[in-house]
């Protein structure tokens, strides 16, 4: 779970999901109210976690697996990524841009 870079308090899973599911990159710490941002390393790793959901399509190209099984794997992987994503977030007190 992410920790606030100002007060070092850990955020709960629910708080993390609630804060990251907005379009605003700025998140306020639920403990001290300080502005927090996702770190640059978190922003660079996030797209790769999204690609895990599309892994069944890659499996289909190499193995002869029924399409029904592969299509049922996509929502399962999406839920797994959604559940694990808050554990992978790192916070920073300043906004880092990728470029």
Q: Structural domain boundaries of the chain?
A: 13-92
Q: What one-character-per-residue DSSP string does 26-58 give?
A: -EE-TTT--EEEE-HHHHHHHHHHHHGGGHHHH
Instruction: Compute mean pLDDT per 10 residues along the chain, 99 residues long, and list them.
Output: 86 89 85 88 86 85 86 90 90 79
Q: Looking at residue 94, what is its pLDDT? A: 83
Q: Looking at residue 13, what is its pLDDT? A: 92
Q: Looking at residue 83, what is its pLDDT? A: 92
Q: Looking at residue 79, what is its pLDDT? A: 93
The pTM score is 0.75
């Amino acid at each position: 779970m992410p920790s606030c870079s100002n007060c070092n308090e850990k955020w709960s899973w629910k708080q993390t999901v609630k804060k990251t599911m907005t379009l605003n990159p700025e998140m306020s710490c639920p403990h001290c109210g300080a502005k927090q941002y996702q770190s640059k390393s978190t922003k660079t790793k996030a797209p790769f976690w999204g690609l895990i959901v599309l892994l069944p399509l890659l499996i289909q190209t190499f193995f002869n697996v029924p399409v029904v099984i592969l299509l049922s794997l996509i929502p399962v992987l999406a839920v797994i990524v959604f559940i694990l994503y808050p554990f992978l977030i790192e916070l920073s007190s300043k906004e880092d841009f990728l470029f």
